[in-house]
Structure 1
Amino acid sequence: MRKLDHILIIDDDQVNSLFSQIILEDADVAETASVCYSVPEALDFLQSASTSHDTVFPDLILLDLIMPGLSGFDFLDRYYQLDYNKTQEAQICAFTSYGNEEHLEKLRKYDVIIGLTPKPLSVLNLQNILSKCTYKYL
């Protein structure tokens, strides 16, 4: 199987982010795995990736929904306002400890969302996420 070029983790929990990075590196599913610890940091990162040749725009984003300040839903709204859903091929998997029906209902309006997976990331959850990706990896 072909590796993804870039996976971005957006999660304010540094321990969980490190654990997720280790899972991604051990699974060897991407050339690069990056981490942003807040929505503003992630939006700045994506802005840079969309305008620079130094950073590849992520193929897959693992997005924590519940973060202090701006939430994962705020990120998704801004992502759509910036038209990344139209200009980029990234797919997003919501990543949360607190998944519920209300979250699922809110996520349905975003066509870039390929699922909701619980924290912490596991190899099985990662395989499930990758099976939903509609490009490159499969």
Structure 2
Amino acid sequence: MKRISNLYVIDDDKIYHFLLKNLFKQNGIDVASTFFINGYDAIEHIKSNKDKDSDILPDLILLDVNMPIMNGWQFLEEFGKLSPGLQKKPTIYMISSSNNEVDINKSKEFEGAVKGYFLKPICKEDLDKIFV
């Protein structure tokens, strides 16, 4: 597995947060995880920490599509504006319950930013793809 020190999970489903923590534990994935319930909170956190030690910024972001306040697409737009000034360039995966072709194809428009699209609930095989 590649070394992921810091993970951001941006998803409004707190049950999913709980399940994901357990999935990590069951599969021996030891990573510092920060959970956000919408894209806005995550963007504000990144903005307020972008000039600090790069260890605060994520190596990996698991991003939901449908969330209140700021959805995954809006997060990607805002993150794209911040990205050039960041000390660290995280890998981003979309994790969604939407199997709509429009969403899957839209994730491909963010080539270079979004590495892949996984359907919820993610499983051990998905984690192997994400963390390898």
Same fold (TM over 0.5): yes
TM-superposed CA distance for 1:46, in Å, is 1.5
C-alpha distance in structure 1 between counterparts of 2:85 and 2:52, whole Å: 18
Unaligned runs of 5+ residues in structure 2 are none
Summarize deviations over 1:53-97 as a string: whole Å, max 9, x none: 385211110000011232100000000012358753201000100
Residues 80 and 96 of structure 1, relative CA distance in 2, 3 Å threshold: same
C-alpha distance in structure 2 between counterparts of 1:30 and 1:89, whole Å: 20
Q: Which residue of 2 aligns with 1:92?
A: 92
Preserved CA contact (<8 Å) 2:2 2:131: no
Secondary structure of the residue aligned to 1:65 is coil
Residues 2 and 126 of structure 1, relative CA distance in 2, 3 Å threshold: closer
C-alpha distance in structure 2 between counterparts of 1:56 and 1:28, whole Å: 22
Q: Which residue of 2 aligns with 1:77?
A: 77
Task: Calculate the TM-score normalised by the size of structure 2.
Answer: 0.86
Q: Which residue of 1 aligns with 2:128?
A: 127
Residues 98 and 2 of structure 1, relative CA distance in 2, 3 Å threshold: closer
Task: Calculate the TM-score normalised by the size of structure 1.
Answer: 0.82
C-alpha distance in structure 2 between counterparts of 1:12 and 1:41, whole Å: 11
Q: Which residue of 1 aligns with 2:27?
A: 27
TM-superposed CA distance for 1:2, in Å, is 4.8
One-letter amino acid of the structure 1 residue matched with residue 116 of structure 2: G
Aligned length: 131
C-alpha distance in structure 1 between counterparts of 2:87 and 2:99, whole Å: 29
One-letter amino acid of the structure 2 residue matched with residue 116 of structure 1: Y
